[in-house]
């Protein structure tokens, strides 16, 4: 665990240059606007430890699968969000000496991510090898108002010399992904051109044929005023730049303001990219940096108005939750239904930036409660649009009759993950997609979604489960063989409890959905029956048979559900008994040793108990929690939040808070020694859930909001807002009271620890918390 970032309620602050952690800080200080983003790299040259990263949403490359032993059914490629042209670059030379913090003495270094207003700033004093000293101050935004643009203010001041300053703002497209399977570059140059203080570079991805045109335009200031200058164009392969030479004197600040845009053929006709980019840059340059910055602050203020969670009494916790919410809002805005939420967002390349089951299991609840209903609906429709591909994916594995297996990893609906134990076996992902449909309808009451889109997806998933199980003559029950559950430290196991339980639930929910549609719109149901070639008398009877006869492993003596057959044959060791030198085990142990151990990467049985808590009494939940939690190493970012929520339900406030902190500060403190690869974006929604569903105890049952709030021991109070259907409710919990305020919408009843409270429109009510 690292602890070098200063605790602050609204900012992420690095004081002093921590070279050894630079890639971590780059991840943490990433900027994005839902359309494009980049890591917190330096504008000037840096030859030290860095991972350059600029990304454009929806643009990817099908990198050829690299495996030692090809198996039938393997995807032919792994879809990767590409490292796109570097638009932030500004080469700085002082009397023929290049500014490079890796080769300088660095003083007064400060890097700040301002989450309240949405910008990254940096300042330092550098002593070059020649002894010349310069002071630099930078400020950068990825505009969420002009969401295909970014802007930089780069100020440099000589401290002990007069001399020649050469500034070369550039666009560099001659880049590659660090994780390229065959070390190849994925972009071809199509066009480049320069004009006075402008440059344009159009690249096209190999194979997929996406065009991205990156443009830059800049201006210079001295003594606070715009100055005239000569600009010398420079071109190379996949590179455009403009060089400016200036005479500077001690104490005189020179400011370069650089505007840039990334326009994609996803949003423009290819022939229109160049003229559109020129118009875009001229428009934002006319607006000016200060106005862009002010608009950015205003737009973020509007986001924080609904999304913020306020914690009194714990600065580290406050910083953690705001960081998580900030990154979620930078990654996905819901404005483009073609996009989804990659596990690393715009902060790194790992996981390919593609769509995983994380969206449905973790992110949907956040967007349901903090955004317009259409945002969550778009995420569901995204999967409906890919149903045909899910059916193709299942067909490649031998499934028939419209069975659908949604991919573990995808950009376009086609499976592109190439580890057999994941691609073929981690099929529980289907369950999360079905659960998200239930979650959305339960929260919004949008029953029409079932008939419009949802039932087609549910039936495809149910058909998969019905074919994936088999009848065991020995057990006289249905079994599910050869699977990997959420705990990826177990592969190819039989009868993973979570996978089997969610499969049964999917079958039940599909039957319930059919009855609901019949009752609401019998004509639409008949249309669906015909479209999907559904024979109720055969298929529904089979579904019901599986529901009634599914084998779910458990140990009645211990009173726990078994993660899978044979789990109790393992040596059951608690994590607390592992030497710290052997953690994390995924970096210290062989895979063979991990697979034979009892240690759990992330919530597995407990994932099911979290999803379906109303199916279990409190003591069953407690027994399973107390059995599995001590063996869980939490080496998946998705794990701590589930444990936090269950611990809160069980009244274990201390452990609930402990897991919240681990989730909230996972990247800020680099708990798992992997933040340098990028932040864990989708798990950040789990951090939000730890507060809202954990400490707030929020649930939606039968169309009503239930709360069971408590304040963690070292907090004074906390508050959050939720959108619920037509209402916006502010909930503030203190040690002995909870205050509810109906900020928008008509009268609503909310249950607090089981007691109904009626809130009239605009009303504010405070009630005591007992115990």
Beta bridge mates, 651: none
Is residue 606 within 8 A of residue 486, CB to CB? The reply is: no
Residue 673 CA to its chain's centroid (Å): 18
- List the one residue out of 352, 311, 353 whose CA is nearest residue 332: 353
Extract the tokens encoding 427.
Answer: 């099929």
Distances (CA, A) of 389 to 315, 354, 487: 46, 15, 26
Beta bridge mates, 171: 240
Which long-range contacts link 570-573 to residues 24+ away (Cβ below 8 Å)? 570/596, 570/597, 570/598, 571/597, 571/598, 572/598, 572/631, 573/597, 573/598, 573/599, 573/631
Pure H helices in 203-288: 273-287
Helix axes 653-664, 315-331, angle to 10 degrees: 50
| Distance linking the first and last C-alpha atoms of the chain | 35
Instruction: Give the residue among 125, 132, 136 at the shortest CA–CA distance from 163.
Output: 132
Residue 293 to residue 110: CA distance in whole angstroms: 20
Is the Cα dihedral 425, 429, 434, 439 positive or negative? positive
CB atoms within 10 A of CB 191: 13
The residues that are catalytic are 488
Minimal CA–CA distance to 516: which of 402, 437, 611, 461? 437
CB atoms within 10 A of CB 93: 17
DSSP per position, 659-689: HHHHHHTTTTTTTTS-GGG---HHHHHHHHH
Distance CA 336, CA 346 (A): 16
d(CA 274, CA 317): 46
């Amino acid at each position: 665990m690292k602890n070098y970032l200063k605790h602050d309620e609204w900012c992420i602050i690095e004081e002093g240059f921590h070279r050894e952690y630079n890639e971590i800080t780059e991840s943490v200080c990433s900027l994005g606007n839902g359309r494009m983003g980049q890591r917190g790299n330096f504008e000037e040259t840096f030859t030290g430890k860095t991972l350059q990263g600029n990304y454009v949403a929806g643009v990817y490359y099908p990198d050829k699968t690299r495996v030692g032993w090809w198996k039938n059914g393997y995807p032919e490629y792994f879809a990767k969000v590409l490292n796109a042209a570097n638009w932030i670059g500004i080469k700085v030379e002082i009397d023929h000496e290049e500014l490079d913090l890796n080769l300088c003495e660095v003083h007064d270094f400060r890097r700040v991510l301002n989450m309240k207003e949405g910008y990254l700033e940096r300042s330092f004093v550098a002593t070059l090898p020649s002894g010349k000293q310069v002071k630099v101050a930078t400020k950068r935004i990825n505009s969420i108002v002009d969401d295909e643009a970014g802007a930089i203010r780069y100020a440099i001041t000589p401290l002990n010399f007069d001399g020649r300053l050469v500034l070369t703002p550039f666009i560099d497209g001659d880049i590659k992904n660090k994780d390229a399977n065959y070390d190849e570059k994925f972009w071809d140059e199509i066009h480049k051109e320069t004009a006075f203080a402008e440059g344009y570079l159009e690249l096209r991805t190999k194979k997929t044929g996406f065009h991205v045109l990156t443009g830059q335009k800049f201006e210079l200031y001295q003594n606070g005023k715009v100055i005239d200058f000569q600009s010398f164009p420079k071109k190379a392969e996949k590179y455009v730049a403009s060089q400016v030479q200036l005479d500077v004197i001690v104490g005189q600040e020179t400011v370069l303001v650089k505007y840039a845009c990334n326009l994609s053929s996803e949003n423009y006709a290819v022939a229109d990219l160049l003229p559109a980019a020129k118009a875009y840059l001229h428009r934002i340059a006319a607006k000016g940096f200060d106005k862009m910055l002010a608009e950015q602050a205003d737009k973020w203020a509007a986001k924080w108005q609904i999304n913020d969670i306020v914690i009194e009494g714990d600065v580290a916790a406050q910083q953690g939750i705001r960081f998580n919410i900030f990154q979620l809002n930078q990654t996905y805005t819901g404005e483009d239904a073609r996009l989804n939420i990659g596990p690393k967002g715009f902060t790194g390349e790992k996981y390919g930036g593609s769509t995983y089951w994380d969206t449905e299991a973790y992110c949907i609840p956040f967007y349901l409660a903090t955004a317009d209903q259409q945002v969550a609906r778009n995420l569901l429709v995204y999967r409906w649009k890919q149903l045909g591909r899910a059916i193709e994916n299942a067909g490649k594995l031998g499934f028939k009759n419209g069975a659908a297996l949604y991919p573990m990893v995808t950009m376009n609906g086609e499976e592109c993950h190439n580890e057999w134990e994941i691609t073929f076996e981690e099929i529980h992902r289907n369950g999360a997609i079905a659960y998200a449909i239930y979650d959305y309808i339960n929260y919004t009451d949008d029953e029409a979604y079932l008939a419009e889109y949802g039932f087609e997806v549910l039936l495809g998933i149910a058909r998969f489960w019905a074919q994936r199980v088999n009848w065991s003559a020995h057990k006289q029950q249905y079994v599910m063989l050869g699977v990997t559950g959420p705990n990826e430290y177990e592969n190819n196991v039989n009868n993973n409890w979570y996978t089997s339980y969610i499969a049964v639930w999917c079958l039940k929910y599909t039957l319930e959905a059919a009855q609901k549609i019949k009752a609401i719109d019998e004509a639409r149901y008949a249309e669906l029956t015909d479209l999907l070639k559904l024979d109720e008398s055969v298929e529904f009877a089979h579904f019901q048979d599986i529901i009634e006869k599914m084998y779910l492993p458990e140990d009645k003596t211990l009173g726990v559900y078994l993660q899978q057959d044979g789990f109790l044959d393992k040596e059951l060791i608690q994590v607390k008994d592992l030497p710290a030198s052997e953690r994390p085990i995924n970096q210290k142990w062989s895979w063979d040793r991990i697979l034979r151990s009892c240690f759990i990467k992330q919530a597995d049985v407990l994932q099911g108990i979290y999803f379906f808590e109303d199916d279990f009494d409190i003591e069953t939940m407690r027994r399973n929690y107390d059995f599995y939690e001590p063996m869980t190493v939490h080496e998946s970012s998705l794990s701590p939040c589930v444990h936090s929520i269950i611990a809160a339900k069980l009244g274990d406030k201390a452990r609930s808070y402990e897991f919240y902190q681990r989730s909230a500060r996972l990247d800020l403190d680099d708990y798992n020694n992997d933040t340098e690869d990028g932040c864990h974006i989708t798990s950040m929604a789990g951090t939000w859930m730890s507060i809202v569903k954990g400490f707030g105890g929020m649930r939606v049952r039968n169309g009503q909001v239930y709360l069971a709030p408590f304040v963690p021991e070292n907090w004074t109070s906390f508050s959050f807002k939720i959108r619920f259907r037509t209402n916006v409710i502010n909930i503030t919990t203190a040690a002995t009271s909870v205050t509810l305020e109906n900020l928008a919408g008509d009268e609503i009843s909310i249950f607090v620890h089981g007691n109904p409270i009626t809130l009239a429109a605009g009303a504010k009510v405070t009630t005591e918390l007992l115990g």
